[in-house]
Structure 1
Amino acid sequence: MPEVIFNGPDGRLEGRYHHVEDETAPIALILHPHPLYGGNMNNRLVYNLFQLFKARGFAVLRFNFRGVGRSQGEFDQGVGELSDAASALDWMQQIKPDAGACWIAGFSFGAWIGMQLLMRRPEVEGFISVSPPANMFDFSFLAPCPSSGLIIHGTDDDLVPEPDVRKLVDKLKSQKGIVIDYEKIEGASHFYENELDEVDGLVGRYVDGRRSEAEAGG
């Protein structure tokens, strides 16, 4: 899991990258929670997502947004962070220009950034959004949402009430051409202190299912 430094729009960005020699291996980008509230690429849920995709043969990158860890720059209210994520995906695609698939996974603030990025990058064919902060940030840009994905939320989330996420999910599910899977974890807070294994299981089964469909041509 080599440390990497790559150029972002506002200076160098620090990441951890797992490389796969197969030129057509799929790629995945993992995005961390809010930088001003302790979010970084070593968040346990972010790390678990990284390992989950790695175990499935993906080339995977997780990185620190600007101003976090050794990444240069300062917090930019999501605008600069979206540019950081785009630069991270560019960096991966330079290494893996023939990647067979492209996925984005984000937790909380990272889910918001990730869903913005998939609007801009048609090559993204799948997304994982854990605890998307639907009550804090505007998700109206998802009109329409360009790819199918999985949204996970805890029923006892006191930062992002579940009904707000359900409203977002219902809006996305009404769109044609995509399928949104929504999984609620009973009793889980925003940070899944005791439910990380359950998150891993849901994500793993979802990714495996999507890949089986792709292999079958479905």
Structure 2
Amino acid sequence: MTRIVASRVLIEGAAGPIETLIEVPEQPRGIALVCHPHPLFGGTLENKIAQTLAKTLRSLGHVVLRPNFRGVGASAGTHDEGEGETEDMLALVDYARGRWGESPLVLAGYSFGAWVQTRVAKRLAEHGKPARRL
């Protein structure tokens, strides 16, 4: 069984700190960013579907970043209809790539989180740094 190191950290985003659960396997093979459902309807990083996505991606050897959107948990800011949330997720991608290099990137999410991830994927592709999977 692979040992996973998990930690909750605050990573700087456009509106302030983003509370993020990071789970790192012994030998990372990629990076995965997992987003939860709509925060105005109770979505948090503890959402069962977000947890299941994270567990699956961990089992495939990915470093998993699972943030709380703006205004949820210890994340700063207020809900921004997907605009600011997209900027925050791009900041997390920059953080992850700075820490774990240009490993293959997977973007995953549920409901509002999946919609934000499509926006992130578009922006990354426009800048020549596309995600491997969406």
TM over 0.5: yes
- The residue aligned with 1:107 is 110
- The residue aligned with 2:119 is 116
Shift of 1:70: 0.5
How far apart, CA to CA, are the structure 1 residues paired with 2:23 and 2:98?
A: 14
TM-score by length of 1: 0.55
The answer to whether residue 74 in structure 2 is matched with residue 74 in structure 1 is no
Matches within 5 A, 1:109-188: 109-122=112-125, 123-127=130-134
Please tell me whether the aligned partners of residues 37 and 43 of structure 2 are also in contact (alpha carbons under 8 angstroms): yes
TM-score by length of 2: 0.88
What are the Cα deviations for residues 157-196 of structure 1, in whole angstroms up to 9, with x where unaligned?
A: xxxxxxxxxxxxxxxxxxxxxxxxxxxxxxxxxxxxxxxx
Larger radius of gyration: 1
Identify unmatched segments of 5+ residues in structure 2: 1-5
How far apart, CA to CA, are the structure 2 residues paired with 1:69 and 1:55?
A: 26
Identical aligned residues as a percent: 34
How far apart, CA to CA, are the structure 2 residues paired with 1:113 and 1:68?
A: 16
- Across the aligned residues of Structure 1 and Structure 2, the Cα RMSD in angstroms comes to 1.2
Shift of 1:68: 0.4
Matches within 5 A, 1:12-91: 12-22=17-27, 25-91=29-95
- The residue aligned with 1:10 is 15
Shift of 1:98: 3.5
Whose strand proportion is higher, 1 or 2? 2
Segment of structure 1 superposing worse, 85-94 or 38-47:
85-94
- The residue aligned with 2:3 is none
Q: Which runs of 4+ in 1 moved over 4 A?
A: none
